[in-house]
Amino acid sequence: MQRTITLVACAALWASSLGAQGDSLYVAWCSACHGKDARGTPAASTRLAVQPADLASCSASTPETEDQWVGIVTRGGAAYGLSLDMPAYGEAGTAEQIRMVVRYVRSLCREHGWPPGELNFPRAFLVEKAFPENELVMVARGTQQQLIFEHRIGRRLQYELEGRTAFDSVHRPFDGATLALKYNVWHSARLRSLATLGLEATPPLGRQSVWELEPFLSAGVQRAGFVMQGQVVAGWENGAGFTGTSSRLGIGHEAGRFVPMLEAAWEMPRTGAHQLTFYPQVWIRLSRLGHVAGSLGAEVGDRPAQLIAFVLWDFGDAPLLRGW
């Protein structure tokens, strides 16, 4: 019994010394550049070509994963296409010390309610992401193109503007525009899952003749290396009322910088035939930092198969030309 108590006491002491080690390691290793408070203001004596990152603010740390930051601190900024000024600590410190210091800086965000970057799953072609993003996306789907601008407001809210063009046999290439809002209603780091409610509004512009509203629910979950993302959408049109629902489900598996995915969409219009369409695709991390990614695939269903593709830039993470 005595021995067990001693062991438990030792373990607790060791754990608390590791916690304390995180902040003393920060002072020793990082504070000259990132600032005493980790807000990215270097000490007056430090000369740097690039402004060091603000590590303390929630909006900077929560969209990233802990592993990504451990990677940057272990291998240095250059390994991720960032500034050489961000040193590599893989030789100076142990893996445990590096994780400790990263956990310490990430603990400086003391606000609750920010969904963690671990739940920022790779974007699927059809399913709306549940994670709020700062992103610019260019999509090609057969003869149609979309440009999407997504911007985060605070912890859980994001708005989105989308413009569409189509170069087909019809003369008017401007296809329409859509405005959307989404709010992350629930997330759990422990359960590796999240759920988001949203609303899309399409005004009568371009080829769209009436107002259309589409409320939706999106969710994502990660289990055993697989990511599953789903969305249910309802349609309402001015004049026609409720037009039907659409359910979408995608499953993917991360393999290095590639994420092969398969999505299925089940369209259930109020009038007319139901339709099942498949979207096999591969998501690809393009930049070393991971802030630029792309996807290539096909739409396979009742209609003739067509190519689908997108490229995205997570502008909240880094400027377009950095991180390569």
CB of 77 vs ligand HEC, minimal distance in Å: 5
Q: Are strands 174-188 and 193-202 parallel, antiparallel or unpaired?
A: antiparallel
Helix (H) and strand (E) counts for the chain?
Answer: 5, 12
| Nearest alpha carbon to residue 34 among 67, 62, 16, 61 | 61
Binding residues for ligand HEC, total number by CB under 6 A: 26
CB of 78 vs ligand HEC, minimal distance in Å: 9
CB of 289 vs ligand HEC, minimal distance in Å: 7
Q: Which residues pair with 263 in a beta bridge?
A: 250, 279
Q: What is the 3-state secondary structure (H, E, C) of 187-241?
A: EECCCCEEEEEEEEEECCCCCCCCCEEEEEEEEEEEECCEEEEEEEEEEEECCCE
CB of 133 vs ligand HEC, minimal distance in Å: 15
Residues 123-142 that bind ligand HEC (CB under 6 A): none
Tell me the per-residue interface mask from 1 to 30 with ligand HEC, x by CB under 6 A, - otherwise.
----------------------------xx
Stretch in the footprint of ligand HEC (CB under 6 A) among 31-39, 120-128, 226-234, 306-314: 31-39
Tell me the per-residue interface mask from 87 to 116 with ligand HEC, x by CB under 6 A, - otherwise.
x-x-----------xx--x-----------
Tokens 């413009």 found at: 163
| DSSP result, 144-180 | EEEEEEEEEETTTEEEEEEEEEE-SSSS--EEEEEEE
Tokens (6 digits) for 50: 């690039």
* 238 alpha carbon, distance to own chain's centre: 33
Contact between 304 and 131 (Cβ < 8 Å): no
CB of 155 vs ligand HEC, minimal distance in Å: 18
Residue 32 within binding range of ligand HEC, rule CB under 6 A: yes
Residues 67-86 that bind ligand HEC (CB under 6 A): 69, 72-73, 77, 82-83, 85-86
Residue 121 within binding range of ligand HEC, rule CB under 6 A: no
Q: Which is nearer to ligand HEC, 71 or 260 (CB)?
A: 71
Q: Which is nearer to ligand HEC, 38 or 130 (CB)?
A: 38
Contact between 119 and 131 (Cβ < 8 Å): yes
Candidates 22, 33, 117, 156; binder of ligand HEC (CB under 6 A) is 33
Which amino acid, 163? G
Contact between 25 and 104 (Cβ < 8 Å): yes
Tell me the per-residue interface mask from 41 to 70 with ligand HEC, x by CB under 6 A, - otherwise.
-------x-x-xx-x----x---x----x-
Residues 202-241 that bind ligand HEC (CB under 6 A): none
Q: Which is nearer to ligand HEC, 55 or 259 (CB)?
A: 55
Tell me how long the chain is.
324
Q: Residue 70: CB partners within 8 Å, gap ≥ 6?
A: 98, 99, 102
CB of 161 vs ligand HEC, minimal distance in Å: 25
Q: Which is nearer to ligand HEC, 108 or 262 (CB)?
A: 108
Site of interaction with ligand HEC (CB under 6 A): 29-30, 32-34, 48, 50, 52-53, 55, 60, 64, 69, 72-73, 77, 82-83, 85-87, 89, 101-102, 105, 322
